[in-house]
Structure 1
Amino acid sequence: MTDDTPESLIPYDEIVQEALRQVVGRVLREVEETGGLPGGHHFYITFQTRMPGVSIPKHLAERFPDEMTIVIQHRFWDLKVEDDWFSVGLSFGGVPTTVSVPFEAVTEFVDPAVDFSLKFQANAPEPPEDHDDADNDVPAAPSATSEDGSNVVNVDFTRKK
């Protein structure tokens, strides 16, 4: 974009982010409905641990104060998917645990079985008081990427300051 391009009054980047997060919800809902993962599919889901609505045990929050990745593959149970969040039972160090994650906290969704990934701009939790860094409020571009270039959706919206 050039300096002559007017600033959009339509929040395209937010609309695309929301739509891509719905892809994650749809995939998880299909797994919930069928009761398991088809073929060799499995998921790595990275999310921000301090986002409102995230529910993880205290020891995990201390170990992963900003972001953590969960794996949905062989050992998971009680997958529940709603419009805005999902929860799943997983084992951490042999201890069964349920995690609940709002989709807006998800920063990455990967299915390595088919070399597919979605990366989302970070929706930062409330910044700490006395923290004013105006340069960090430009969102990253949403994208769905794979290392070999297949299954690529790359959307780049730049906000003009």
Structure 2
Amino acid sequence: MSDDDAPDSLIPYDEHVQDALRGVVYNVLTDVAKVGSLPGGHHFYIAFKTGAAGVDIPNHLKERYPDEMTIVVQHRFWDLKVDREGFEIGLSFNQVPAKLIVPFSAVVGFVDPSVNFALQFPPPEVSAPKTGLRSVDKQGGEPLSASSEAKAPAEKTEGEEKRDSSSNVVEIDFRKK
């Protein structure tokens, strides 16, 4: 039986998988919020759609990043609050403190480069692909789960990460090149 002959499922498995994977982000951020800091060398790049429902960021950031923004959660953050819907965090941009509210439904990428772990989610306005993730094995850097149909985050190479030296925002291109 080919994929074309497979019956359509009446159970939304793709949505359930995406919800479960967003639960990983929820659990990790909840653990960090309890302690108030990140353990060891862990740090996160969290990419989200700035125009998604429920996102609340300062206007100057929305103007600078009208579509998508990636934040770095590492040394200087405060007031991290997490609930099942999303998270709230204080960060500094050009030495100006800002509070960001981000629902998990707006998150399109979560990366912990210290252990080579990455998840990618479909944008909120796009229906979910068959699988939208790629977890990377800490040891060999090989995908633990991937789909050739899904756009998975490529491993970063030099030049793909662009840093604005005057802010804490890091832009990461998750598209394969």
TM-score interval, smaller chain:
0.7 to 0.9
Letter in 2 for 1:141: T
Judging changes above 3 Å, is the alpha-carbon distance between structure 1 residues 73 and 137 closer, same or farther for their aligned structure 2 residues? closer
TM-score by length of 2: 0.76
Q: Which moved more, 1:2-11 or 1:67-76?
A: 2-11
Q: Indicate conservation of the 8 Å contact 2:15/2:128, yes or no.
A: no
Paired residue secondary structure (1:113): coil
Judging changes above 3 Å, is the alpha-carbon distance between structure 1 residues 79 and 100 closer, same or farther for their aligned structure 2 residues? same
Paired residue secondary structure (1:3): helix
Cα distance per residue 1:52-80 (max 9 Å; x no partner): 11000111111111100000001100000
Give unmatched runs, 5+ long, in structure 2: 151-177
C-alpha distance in structure 1 between counterparts of 2:147 and 2:104, whole Å = 19
Q: Indicate conservation of the 8 Å contact 2:42/2:74, yes or no.
A: yes
C-alpha distance in structure 2 between counterparts of 1:157 and 1:16, whole Å = 16
Partner of 2:92: 91
Q: Indicate conservation of the 8 Å contact 2:109/2:118, yes or no.
A: yes
| Structure possessing the higher relative contact order (Cα contacts under 8 Å, 6 or more residues apart) | 1
Mapping 1:8-157, distance limit 5 Å: 8-124=9-125, 139=129, 141-146=131-136, 148-149=141-142, 152-154=144-146
Alignment coverage as a number of residue pairs? 146
Q: Indicate conservation of the 8 Å contact 1:80/1:88, yes or no.
A: yes
Judging changes above 3 Å, is the alpha-carbon distance between structure 1 residues 74 and 31 closer, same or farther for their aligned structure 2 residues? same
TM-score by length of 1: 0.83
TM-aligned CA deviation for residue 141 of structure 1: 2.6
| Richer in helix (by share) | 1
C-alpha distance in structure 2 between counterparts of 1:78 and 1:138, whole Å = 31
Q: Indicate conservation of the 8 Å contact 1:121/1:140, yes or no.
A: no
C-alpha distance in structure 2 between counterparts of 1:95 and 1:41, whole Å = 24
Judging changes above 3 Å, is the alpha-carbon distance between structure 1 residues 140 and 58 closer, same or farther for their aligned structure 2 residues? farther
C-alpha distance in structure 2 between counterparts of 1:34 and 1:106, whole Å = 23
TM-aligned CA deviation for residue 153 of structure 1: 3.0
Partner of 1:128: none
Over the residues paired in the alignment, what is the CA RMSD in angstroms?
A: 2.1
Paired residue secondary structure (1:118): strand
- Identical positions, percent: 53
C-alpha distance in structure 2 between counterparts of 1:47 and 1:13, whole Å = 20
Letter in 2 for 1:139: P
Letter in 1 for 2:76: R
